[in-house]
Chains A and B, each alone.
Chain A
Amino acid sequence: MARKMLIDGELDKANEAESHYDFDLFVIGAGSGGVRASRFSAQNGAKVAICELPFHPISSEVIGGVGGTCVIRGCVPKKILVYGASFGPELEDARNYGWDVNEKIDFNWKKLLQKKTEEINRLNGIYKRLLSGAGVKLFEGEGRVIGPNEVEVIQLDGTKISYSAKHILIATGSRAQRLPIPGQELGITSDEALSLEELPKHAVILGGGYIAVEFASIWRGMGAKVDLFYRKDLPLRGFDDEMREVVAKNLEGRGIKLHPSTNLKELSKTEGGVKVLTDHGEEIVADVVLFATGRTPNSKRLNLEAVGVELDKAGAIKVNQYSQTNMPSIWAIGDVTNRMNLTPVALMEGTCFANTVFGGKPMAPDYSNIACAVFCIPPLSVVGLSEQEAVEKAKGDILIFTSTFNPMKNTISGRQEKTMMKLVVDAETDKVLGASMCGPDAAEIMQGIAIALKCGATKAQFESTVGIHPSAAEEFVTMRSATRRVSAGTAKPRTNL
């Protein structure tokens, strides 16, 4: 192809000088970030190899799979289960709309699990084809860094092969961790929770983060009894406090028992299941105990310290703004760098890496105004600053616009659950600094709002947009008067809830 010919003309020269490397790029880890970086690098003309552990839904030091956390043990299977769980409450809502669903309804967890596994296998295949289609060589096995330009792949049969590469990219992601308490081995992590043999009748969840509230909603929606324990007053630390209150209220409203400011002390095995002892002296017996207590970067077995790559205290690989480690030929992206642990962020980091290293266009990922969603039921989605962050950072006053309303669907279903929306606006510049919503379709609604925020849209621009009627989303463009004005410096942001 002509265009190829023209670029190759440039690359050929480069390749000649560096022909002593097996690859221009060797990527360890074929998750969202790794696959993106290798594909885009290959498209820029680089010779790329990638290695990944063998596939299985539950990860370990030696188990992984092409597609990574997002596809196999994160976003995708989680969202599938959320869909599955949402039908439970939907059936309740249907009654007042005239549907007679009082007959026996059955939920077959195994069937859902099987279909979920089929879908994940399909996606795993798609990712593999994406790689081969882009001309990326895929090795199955555990990758280790041997030197600044050398990677070793331990194959399934134990044999080791080493490859030289001009650049090495580490994209090994992270793994769920348990809390070091007695009996911790009796608990499970989100990996196992996505592949349980039986649907729990009674689940105990420890953690207040997004994984904890998502599983609480999933199991509750499928009919299980759920106890959710967390250390703070409210779940979802780091999100807007008012929205956290809404989430807590909704979880409770949907039948999840909340145990704020409570820790688990010990797990022990009993006839009825796992006995949980809390630091309040409370005892609960459950059939499943889930630790949703954070994730650790997968950096231990990569031989990084020996090569001289710096890690932080949490074990995350330290990188500069271009995702380069302290070793110039070694780079890292995604959860293993513990910057912002989201799939689309890893994709962005991967794209920037490929452009920087092989596209001749140094590009630093931009972490401002990245929207994210928590798929509890109903979901929470946010972009930009929370009220507390805005007040903290503000030089002038902040205007807070809120709207709490009964979604139209609930007017007939009778469900007692309000949707809440919030805009945080800089009083002086009129710029919208933050938006958040908790209610049905929040994640879908927030995407477009995110573009507006990313581009510095003002409240006036929101108002000049005509609403789509009747929708929940139109509320974002029809909030006319501020709920409150927070003067800079006067308000003490509520923290540490």
Chain B
Amino acid sequence: MAATRVMASAGNAVSAPQSLDLCFRNGRLLTQNKRLFFVHDFGKKLMLSVVHSFPCAHRSRRFTTAVRAESTNGSEPSAHYDFDLFTIGAGSGGVRASRFAANFGAKVAVCELPFATISSDSAGGVGGTCVLRGCVPKKLLVYASKFSHEFEESGGFGWSYEAEPKHDWSTLIANKNAELQRLVGIYKNILKNSGVMLLEGRGKIVDPHTVDVNGKLYSAKNILIAVGGRPFIPDIPGSEYAIDSDAALDLPSKPKKIAIVGGGYIAVEFAGIFNGLKSDVHVFIRQKKLLRGFDEEVRDFLGEQMSLRGIDIHSEETPQAIVKSSDGLLSVKTNKGTVDGFTHVMFATGRKPNTKNLGLEAAGVNLSKNGAIEVDEFSRTSVPSIWAVGDVTDRINLTPVALMEGGALAKTLFANEPTKPDHSAVPCAVFSQPPIGQVGLTEDQAVKEYGDIDIYTSNFRPLKATLSGLPDRVFMKLIVCAKTNKVIGLHMCGEESAEIVQGFAVAVKAGLTKADFDATIGIHPTAAEEFVTMRTPTRKIRSAPSEILMPKLLLVFDSSLCNEKLLHQRIYMYGQSTPGQLSDLSRCPSPDSYAYAVDEREVAKAAVKNVFLLFTFLHRCDFSLLCKQVKFDFGAKLDKVFELILKLYSVGLCNVSS
């Protein structure tokens, strides 16, 4: 066919006497598994063809090493090694891997630095970050700080206090430390009871099968590095006055006024903690919003709720220096000015893998640019006998993920069951106030990966807040793949989000659909029931008009004749339709899509005199977006448009090729 071939794609609008203009939304087409090409024949023949393209791999493929039998069969005698497994680091991942390995019959040793609440090159402690300097102490402080909000709430429920409850920092810290000591004891016992030998001291790799602890050498068939990460403070003038999250969890006194630098989860959690304990809290973030990487709407919502609770968020304000004044107070100099009077400045500016001085480079273990150990899907490093799990590999830095990686590794090495940890649909929580829970993709990720998605949101005032009178709200969001109906993302910000999301995470992980959610009956009255009672999508996102390929019913708006209201009455049906399609038609369009259509019409009107908007309607096809995507500018009469449309479809339908 001698045709002029025109590919319509993003930023490449076609103009021709009779032109088709396909507006793809900024590059989303790239992640579609179908691409549309219009083959335009000026001899008045139109052909529509589809080119199937493979979805782009959105994650870089990791090099997969086949797990070799000789290094995996831990039950084989390994007499020439002191241990089957030597683990460096007794945090969540290390303890889990060691215990499970021992349970599978391996001879295991683990070494850990001496206990201290603040970590360093020479201090750590059994239990690791989670127990000593992370999840646990953080959550305990969150509990403590939440009470002040409850005191406020209780007023609306008839409770009153002669004097406002006061908080004593030292009681809290003493009780917290007692609890941590108890947990360290429990962890040590767990190791002991599973037959793992615990060595205190700094482990260093001497060669692929040898570890040095305090000058003593131990040989091992496999070495596991699970040394975790540590907070990182950027080097700015006065950074020596700043504290990190380790120190913030164990301060001798409560900050009166604290600057928290950073917008990540640690920053927002500590902002909530100190705000709840009645410190004056200022958060400095480089970006416009908190929590980069989280769903945009959740970020907006949390920022609003935190501000309402009295936290001062300085967005796009980066500290450049800290100055100590004569009264001992700290000033923070930023790109926008100076904020004075801080008793404390805390940096929550990220964490770095603890890979220095471990002998890794000498042993030939590859590190990434940020110092994380590079591993394959089985957590194996570039040295076959050396493995790594947890934060030191900087995959998903969460305790339960380290547990999963540790458990999988033990199975791989000592149970003859090569197991890859599955990093998909890992739920997580931010214990901000209010907290966040999430599982699966954010909206942006979902659009990139799936293109066509439906978004369901709910932003409501919970029953408790209607009585308490506080401005607390709850935000919930479901992201559904339009094609498969699967729930691919679930987000919540509001009281008990972390607890609520866990069960939903099981559902998301199991690949359940929105229909499955809808079929589940609510538990009344709860906040969580909202997730199973979201009936109408808030919006639908369609990236490319690939669905045009299967028209069931064509509708043409004669936009020159109508105002907004008339528009609704001026839908002409064209082509064949069945009653079933009619009922679909009655169900699908939302008032929003009409509004959308009107806007589009206005735009088009300005451009040309006689504009027709073509709407293709089919199951799960969104009016509004199609209307945005497909514009016909023919400068022609109605019947000519019809003729052309018909041609387009008749040819298109029988010429689907790859």
Q: Contact at A468–B501, with CB atoms within 8 Å?
A: yes
Is the beta-carbon distance between B159 and A107 smaller than 8 angstroms? yes
- Whether B464 lies near A477 (C-beta < 8 A) is no
Cross-chain contact B150 with A451 (CB below 8 angstroms) = no
CB-based contact B507/A451 at 8 Å = yes
In A68-100, the 8 Å CB interface with B consists of 70, 75-76, 79-80, 83-84, 87, 90-91, 93-94, 96-100
A98 pairs with B502, CB closer than 8 A: no
Assess the B156–A115 pair: CB atoms within 8 A: yes
Contact of B503 with A448 in the complex, beta carbons under 8 Å: yes
A454 to B520, Cβ gap below 8 A? Answer: yes
CB-based contact B147/A97 at 8 Å: yes
Whether B150 contacts A444 by the Cβ 8 Å rule is no
The answer to the question of B172 belonging to the interface, with a C-beta cut-off of 8 Å to chain A, is yes
Q: Which of A110-136 contact B (CB under 8 A)?
A: 110-112, 115-116, 119, 122
Inter-chain CA distance A451–B528, complex, in Å, is 11
List B127-169 residues whose CB lies under 8 Å from chain A: 130, 135-136, 139-140, 143-144, 147-148, 150-151, 153-154, 156-163, 165-169
Q: Is A466's CB under 8 angstroms from B501's CB?
A: no
Chain A positions within 8 Å of B143 at CB level: 97, 408-409, 412
Chain B 298-322 against A: per-residue CB contact (8 Å), 1 yes, 0 no?
A: 0000000000000000000000000
Residue contact B498 to A473, C-beta cutoff 8 Å: yes
A490 at the interface (CB under 8 A from B): no
Chain A 1-21: CB-based contact to B (< 8 A → 1; otherwise 0): 111111100100000000000
Task: From known contacts A96-B171, A448-B502, A465-B509, infer whether A371 and B523 are also in contact, taking CB-CB under 8 Å.
Answer: yes
Across-interface contacts of B579 in A (CB, < 8 A):
10
With contacts A1-B569, A476-B502 taken as known, whether A103 is within 8 angstroms of B161 at the C-beta atoms is: yes
**CB within 8 Å of B: which of A352-378?**
360, 366, 369-373
Indicate if the CB atoms of A445 and B509 lie closer than 8 Å: no
The answer to whether B503 and A451 have CB atoms under 8 Å apart is: yes
Contacts of B521 in A (CB 8 A): 342, 344-345, 348, 370-371, 450
Query: Which residues from chain A contact B522 at a C-beta distance below 8 Å?
Result: 344, 347, 447
A443 in contact with B162 (CB, 8 Å): no
Our pick among A75, A122, A412 for the contact of B525 (Cβ within 8 Å) is A75
Contact indicator A100/B527 (Cβ below 8 Å): no
- Residues from chain A with Cβ under 8 Å of B528 in the complex: 443-448
Q: Once the chains bind, are B520 and A451 in contact (CB under 8 Å)?
A: yes
Q: A224 at interface (Cβ–Cβ under 8 A)?
A: no
Q: Is A441 an interface residue (CB 8 A)?
A: yes
The answer to the question of B592 belonging to the interface, with a C-beta cut-off of 8 Å to chain A, is: no
Supposing A444-B526, A465-B427 touch, asked if A455 and B582 sit within 8 A by C-beta, the answer is no
In the complex, the chain B residue whose C-beta lies closest to that of A88 is B159
Measured in the bound complex, the distance between the Cα atoms of B583 and A360 in whole Å is: 10
Whether B517 and A451, one on each chain, are in contact in the complex, defined by CB atoms closer than 8 angstroms, is yes
Is B22 in contact with chain A by the CB < 8 A criterion? Answer: no
Interface centre among A84, A107, A115, A473 (most CB of B within 10 A): A473
Answer whether residue A428 sits at the interface, using C-beta atoms and an 8 A cutoff: no
Residue from B135, B172, B428, B569 in contact with A5 in the complex, judged by beta carbons closer than 8 Å:
B569
Judged by a CB distance under 8 angstroms, whether A322 is at the interface is no
Residue contact A90 to B571, C-beta cutoff 8 Å:
no
Q: Find chain A residues with CB under 8 A from B516 CB.
A: 451, 454-455
- B157, A84: Cβ atoms under 8 Å? yes
Per the 8 Å Cβ criterion, residues 247-303 of B in contact with A are none
Do the beta carbons of B171 and A98 come within 8 Å of each other? yes
Which B residues lie within 8 Å of A98 (CB)? Answer: 144, 167-172, 175
Q: Smallest CB–CB gap between B93 and chain A, Å? A: 12
How far does the alpha carbon of A107 sit from the alpha carbon of B527 in the complex, in Å?
Answer: 26
Chain A residues with CB under 8 Å of B520's CB are 369, 371, 447, 450-451, 454
Tell me the bound Cα distance from A369 to B403 in angstroms.
31
Closest to B254 in A: A98
Complex: A318 Cα to B165 Cα, angstroms? 56
Known: A90-B150, A455-B512. A104 touches B162 (CB 8 A): yes
Given A79-B525, A344-B529, A466-B426, check contact A447 B400 (CB 8 Å).
Answer: no
Q: Cβ of A471 and Cβ of B162 under 8 Å apart?
A: no
Interface residues in B387-427 by Cβ distance below 8 A to A read 398-401, 403-404, 422, 425-427
Check A447 against B467 for contact (C-beta < 8 Å). Answer: no
Q: Is B531 an interface residue (CB 8 A)?
A: yes
Contact-residue bracket for chain A: 35 or more
Beta-carbon contact of A108 and B169 below 8 Å: no
Q: Are B158 and A448 in contact (CB under 8 A)?
A: no
Interface centre among B176, B425, B524, B585, by most chain A C-beta atoms within 10 angstroms, is: B524
The reply to whether B147 and A373 contact each other, CB–CB distance below 8 Å, is no
A111–B403 alpha-carbon span in the complex (Å): 49
A452 & B400 in contact (Cβ 8 Å cutoff):
no
Set of chain A residues within 8 Å of B548, measured between Cβ atoms: none
Q: Does chain B have a CB within 8 A of A321? A: no
Q: How far is the CB of B151 from chain A (nearest CB, A)?
A: 8
List chain A residues, Cβ under 8 A from B422.
Answer: 464
Chain B residue nearest to A2 (CB atoms) is B571
Contact A342 B524 (CB under 8 A): yes
B426 touches A452 (CB 8 A): no
Residues B498 and A468 in contact, CB atoms below 8 Å apart = yes
Q: Which chain A positions have C-beta within 8 A of B156?
A: 115
Q: B159 to chain A: which residues have CB within 8 Å?
A: 84, 87, 91, 105-108
Q: Does A461 contact B (CB under 8 A)?
A: yes
Shortest beta-carbon distance from A335 to chain B in Å: 13
Closest chain B residue, CB of each to CB of A1: B568
Q: Is the CB of B160 within 8 A of A105?
A: yes
A457 CA / B520 CA spacing, docked (Å): 13
| Chain B hits for A10, CB < 8 A | 579, 582
Nearest opposing residue in chain A for B507, CB measure: A451
Asked whether A467 lies within 8 Å of B525 as measured between CB atoms, the reply is: no
Q: Which of B139, B427, B589 contacts A470 (CB 8 A)?
A: B139
Interface string of B424-440 (1 = CB under 8 A from A): 01111100000001000
A466 touches B427 (CB 8 A): yes
For residue A381, CB closer than 8 A to chain B, the reply is yes
- Contact indicator A447/B523 (Cβ below 8 Å): yes
Contacts of B583 on A, CB cut-off 8 Å? 7, 360
A139 at the interface (CB under 8 A from B): no
Asked whether any CB of chain A lies closer than 8 Å to the CB of B179, the reply is yes
Asked if B161 and A119 make an inter-chain contact with CB atoms under 8 angstroms apart, the answer reads no
Whether A448 pairs with B531 at a CB distance below 8 angstroms is yes
Please give, as numbers and ranges, the residues of chain A lying within 8 Å of B571 by CB-CB distance: 2
Which chain A positions have C-beta within 8 A of B519?
A: 366, 454-455
Residues of chain A within 8 A of B160, CB atoms compared: 105-108
The answer to whether B158 touches A468 (Cβ under 8 A) is no
- The answer for the CA separation of A443 and B172 in the assembled complex, in Å, is 29
Cα-based distance from A341 to B123 in the complex (angstroms) = 59
**Closest approach, in angstroms, between the C-beta of B427 and any C-beta of chain A?**
5
- B516: nearest residue on chain A (CB-CB)? A455
Could you mark each residue 468-482 of chain A with 1 if its beta carbon is under 8 Å from any beta carbon of chain B, else 0? 111111101100000
Give chain A residues whose Cβ lies under 8 Å from the Cβ of B509: 461, 464-465
Question: Roughly how many angstroms separate A97 CA and B139 CA in the complex, as a whole number?
Answer: 12
Q: How far is the CA of A108 from the CA of B523 in the complex (A)?
A: 30
Besides the contacts A469-B398, A471-B429, what 4 more A-B pairs have beta carbons closer than 8 Å?
A1-B569, A87-B154, A103-B163, A115-B158
Mark A residues whose CB is within 8 Å of B.
1-7, 10, 70, 75-76, 79-80, 83-84, 87, 90-91, 93-94, 96-101, 103-112, 115-116, 119, 122, 342-345, 347-348, 360, 366, 369-373, 381, 408-409, 411-412, 441, 443-452, 454-455, 457, 461-462, 464-474, 476-477
List residues of chain B with CB under 8 Å of any chain A CB.
130, 135-136, 139-140, 143-144, 147-148, 150-151, 153-154, 156-163, 165-172, 175-176, 179, 182, 398-401, 403-404, 422, 425-429, 437, 463-464, 466-467, 496, 498-507, 509-510, 512, 516-517, 519-529, 531-532, 568-571, 579, 582-583, 585-586, 589
Q: Mind listing 10 A-B residue pairs with CB under 8 Å?
A: A3-B589, A10-B579, A90-B150, A112-B158, A344-B529, A370-B521, A412-B172, A465-B502, A466-B426, A469-B398
